[in-house]
Structure 1
Amino acid sequence: MTSVVDHARLAFTAVERLEQVSGPRDLIETFRSCLDPFGFSVVLITGLPDPPADPTPFFLINSWPSGWHERYIDKDFYRDDPVAEAGRTHIDPFAWSEAPVDLERQPRARQVMSEAASVGMRDGFVVPIVTSRSVQACVSVAGDIPELSPDVRRMIHLVGMYAHARAMRLHASQKSLARRLLSDREREVLRWTAAGKTAWETSCILGISERTVTYHVTTTARRLEAVSRTHAVARAIALGEISIG
């Protein structure tokens, strides 16, 4: 039987291994290999914007099963995902099976979880990351029949927080190579757009007119060669113009 000391040793070994990774793919494989003995095969590190925002631009690390990402986005499952909802509102870590299900607000919640189970994600564990910005983040790991004992939860909590920090550092190093294309105001407007705010809501937050917000979004999209607001957000994140954490 694995003891508390053994779990602590495993956690610190995982942290040491994560410190050595050189890129996102390496981070995914290292993180997964650390969790594999406990039945976790999938890892996701992401920001959690409020619906109806598209979560895709906020993904830092993602090893979802083949085809699941496309179906998840195509069916707009994010809007009804009880795990994502809990991740946006919880501070303490939780198992997927512990996420509250409100069928009035999220009528397809059980469908989302059932389809996730069908691709090998029957249950999981989420470490919420409270950021200083407008968008909450999380580390989510999943498997078919993962171990969720108290010691394993504590280990994932520790390693998950470090994995998120490492992912952010890797992202920041990529950002430093990008040439700044947008003004401070344009980036500010785009950050609130990424958080799912409308032009009117953004105007209230920033104390400027709705027309000015729309102008900034339009010029930003043109400068980033984007075809929509969502595409502009994705391009801005990829180019390091705005942060997701």
Structure 2
Amino acid sequence: MKNWQDDLLMITDLKLSESQIVKRIQEAATMLEFEYCAYGLQVIFPEEKVVMFNNYPRQWQRRYDTENYLAIDPIVAQGRQSQTPIIWADSVSREAPIFWEEARAAGLKVGWSQSSINAAGAASMLSLSRSSQPITRQELDANEIKMRWLVNVAHLALSNRISTRLANPYEVKLTSREKEVLKWTGSGKTSFEISCLLAISENTVNFHIKNSILKLSAANKTAAVIQAFLTGQLI
């Protein structure tokens, strides 16, 4: 990396979607010579829930889910106790031996993890792993600062987005016509004027305004316009 700090900070770009952020985190992991990476976030509000992204082999992903391995994962358990980086050493592997045997069979033999917790109480963990080549002291001396940066960048980029999404699970989606009507309403046009502009009846305009107010749980059409702008549906 010519300037790795700047490269990693680009992951926090507000224009990126969650999937684009995850892709960039995975690319950064590859640059650090790890085949796999996993990000997990535990939120408390509106209910306790864990959201996970990873590029692990499909077979291991299914096994992890169906066996509820999150509940016994020693790395996750240790990360909840401390934000100190964890190397998947033999001492850690002695816990839950069947779990580790299956993980290694899936190609997850070498790894490094670190957790992060923000002021709102959202806790996350980033794990970097590969199928061979132990993590050496020389590698840590060269790359651990970048790995720590990646942990914090991932948490900064994803925790707020995911927490906000989970707090609003039923995200309002206005139709294109509703957006169009609200946009003209926000410009100060009356229902009659909008009906002439869009070549539809005034009753139809009022119908779209009423639906938008209901969808957005707004007090009136002006509030609906403001809410639509705040949620990025009107630009």
TM-score normalised by length of structure 1: 0.55
Amino acid at match of 1:152: N
2:13 corresponds to = 19
2:64 corresponds to = 72
Residue 172 of structure 1, CA deviation: 4.5
Residue 119 of structure 2 is aligned to residue 119 of structure 1: no
Report SS of the residue matched to 2:22: helix
Q: 2:97 aligns with which of 88, 110, 129?
A: 110
1:161 corresponds to = 152
Taking structure 1 as reference, are residues 48 and 117 closer, same or farther at Cα in structure 2, changes over 3 Å only?
Answer: farther
Report SS of the residue matched to 1:92: coil
Report SS of the residue matched to 1:149: helix
Taking structure 1 as reference, are residues 179 and 37 closer, same or farther at Cα in structure 2, changes over 3 Å only?
Answer: closer
Residue 131 of structure 2 is aligned to residue 144 of structure 1: yes
Kindly report the root-mean-square deviation, in angstroms, between the aligned alpha carbons of the 2 structures.
3.1
Taking structure 1 as reference, are residues 21 and 13 closer, same or farther at Cα in structure 2, changes over 3 Å only?
Answer: same
Residue 14 of structure 1, CA deviation: 2.1
Between the two structures, name the one with larger relative contact order (CA 8 Å, sep ≥ 6). 1
Whether the aligned pair in 2 keeps the contact of 1:44 and 1:61 (CA below 8 Å) is yes
Whether the aligned pair in 2 keeps the contact of 1:45 and 1:61 (CA below 8 Å) is yes
Amino acid at match of 1:129: S
Residue 154 of structure 1, CA deviation: 1.4
Whether the aligned pair in 2 keeps the contact of 1:48 and 1:135 (CA below 8 Å) is yes
Residue 30 of structure 1, CA deviation: 0.9
The structure with the larger Rg is: 2
- What is the number of equivalent residue pairs in this alignment? 163
1:40 corresponds to = 34
Q: State the distance in 1 between where 2:90 and 2:122 align.
A: 22
Q: State the distance in 2 between where 1:21 and 1:163 align.
A: 15
1:200 corresponds to = none
Whether the aligned pair in 1 keeps the contact of 2:29 and 2:37 (CA below 8 Å) is no
Report SS of the residue matched to 2:108: coil
TM-score normalised by length of structure 2: 0.57
Amino acid at match of 1:111: I
Q: State the distance in 2 between where 1:153 and 1:98 align.
A: 20
Whether the aligned pair in 2 keeps the contact of 1:83 and 1:99 (CA below 8 Å) is no
Structure 1 residue runs of 5 or longer lacking an equivalent are: 1-5, 50-54, 104-108, 181-245
Structure 2 residue runs of 5 or longer lacking an equivalent are: 172-235
Give CA deviations for 1:154-180 in whole Å, capped at 9, x if unaligned: 111112111111012332553575559
Give CA deviations for 1:45-82 in whole Å, capped at 9, x if unaligned: 21359xxxxx9x41243322212222112223233322
